[in-house]
Amino acid sequence: MFRKSANPHSYYNTVWREFCKHRLSLLALFIIAMLGLIAVMAPFIANDIPILLYKGGKLYIFPNIFTYSDLQAENLYANFDRWKPSSGEWMLKPPIPYGPLNQELEQSLQGPNRTHWLGTDDRGRDVLSRMIWGSRLSLSVGFVAVGIAVIIGVILGSLSGYFGKWVDTVVLRFIELMLVIPTFFLIITVMAFLPPSIWTIMIVIGLTGWPGVARLVRGEFLKQKQMEYVLASRALGLSNSRIMFRHILPNAMGPVFVSATFGLAGAILMESGLSFLGFGVPPPTPSWGELLKQSQGYVDFAWWLVLFPGLAIFITVTAFNLVGEGLRDAMDPRLR
């Protein structure tokens, strides 16, 4: 019903052009895109289960993502790391042919070498494979947690800014209440009582991350509410929800995107911190923080266990922060 025209001067096109002027932010965006790609493609990059398998006169396509019942019956899925094709059979393994959970105890604590590029841990698991699978977890924690925070923050912030009066007072007090509690310790306390799972972490980080977003959205709503286009919409008898979400919100989302980018970095760091302290994902699931935690006992000689996961966290968090900064500058008309 509402047709959109492709417009070279539209707001987001301008922002994109401005963003491209920041080389470093662009590089950071590229790194994040690559990380995202690696996370999504993890079963094709680091896995002991083959991509293609020719066995018993039958070709199995992508057994790494589809479960074939006859392979399942042979209990092959749990044993691909030890399975060898006999004559006439073949398989195509991913470039890093180790699953994140495959243990080879005789290979434990090896430094980076030709077979294990980033070394192995105390149980002989491939560090690179665990890091690649860990990126899935760390990134999804970031996105889901920030998604939850943004949804709550946008709803409460819009209500507060649009309706003002007692709604505003209640929401503001609630925000202040959340801000005075040190988030990290609140999360640790809550995690101590809840069953450790990836979903609890996402939800708990999300539920504590909204006050910043809410304040931002509230401020934008206060500003936009005074604009004549909002008055015109009210004079035209449009409903409050339509004015809030169809008219004001699109104009108020810019700063939210910026803060969400920073929030992503924060959430990833938060998850790593929690896992490092043992309140995160239960082992053996790999997450970057979990990898760091496992390295605790071997820091003095197995440097690769600390360096690579730490570097991954550092690069990812820095990249998100750089993108956030670039986005903030690109959206700020005073800097043009």
Partner 1 sequence: MNNHTPYLKVDNLTKYYPVGGGLFAKARNYVRAVDHVSFNVYSGETVSLVGESGSGKTTVARLILRLVEPTDGSIYFDGVDLTKLNSKELRSIRRKIQIIFQDPYSSLNPRMTVYSMLAEVLHVHRIVPKEQITGHIEQLLQLVGLNADAMYRYPHEFSGGQRQRIGIARALAVNPSFLVADEPVSALDVSVQAQILNLLMELQEKLHLTYLIISHDLGVVRHISDRVLVMYLGRIVEEAPTETLFESPNHPYTKALMSAIPKPDPSASLPKLLARGEPPSPVNPPSGCSFHPRCPYATEKCKNESPPLQNISDTHRSACWVFAKNSEDKIPQPI
Whether 212 and 266 have beta carbons less than 8 Å apart is answered as no
In degrees, to the nearest 5, what angle opens at C-alpha 188 toward C-alphas 183 and 194? 120
Cβ closest to partner 1, residue 89 vs residue 168: 168
Cβ closest to partner 1, residue 2 vs residue 185: 2
74: number of Cβ within 10 Å: 12
Measured from the CB of residue 239, what is the shortest distance to partner 1 in angstroms? 8
**Residue-wise DSSP of 220-263:** HHHHHHTSHHHHHHHHTT--HHHIIIIIIHHHHHHHHHHHHHHH
Measured from the CB of residue 6, what is the shortest distance to partner 1 in angstroms? 10
Measured from the CB of residue 49, what is the shortest distance to partner 1 in angstroms? 47
The binding site for partner 1 (CB under 8 A) comprises 1-5, 7, 9-11, 166, 169, 227-229, 231-239, 242, 246-247, 250-251
SS (HEC) of 92-116 = ECCCECCCCCCCCHHHCCCCCCCCC
Measured from the CB of residue 212, what is the shortest distance to partner 1 in angstroms? 24
Cβ closest to partner 1, residue 88 vs residue 237: 237
Measured from the CB of residue 254, what is the shortest distance to partner 1 in angstroms? 11
289 class by beta-carbon count within 10 Å (0-12 exposed, 13-18 middle, 19+ buried)? buried
Whether 224 and 251 have beta carbons less than 8 Å apart is answered as yes
Cβ closest to partner 1, residue 104 vs residue 168: 168
CA–CA dist 42, 28 (Å, integer): 21
Cβ closest to partner 1, residue 21 vs residue 223: 223
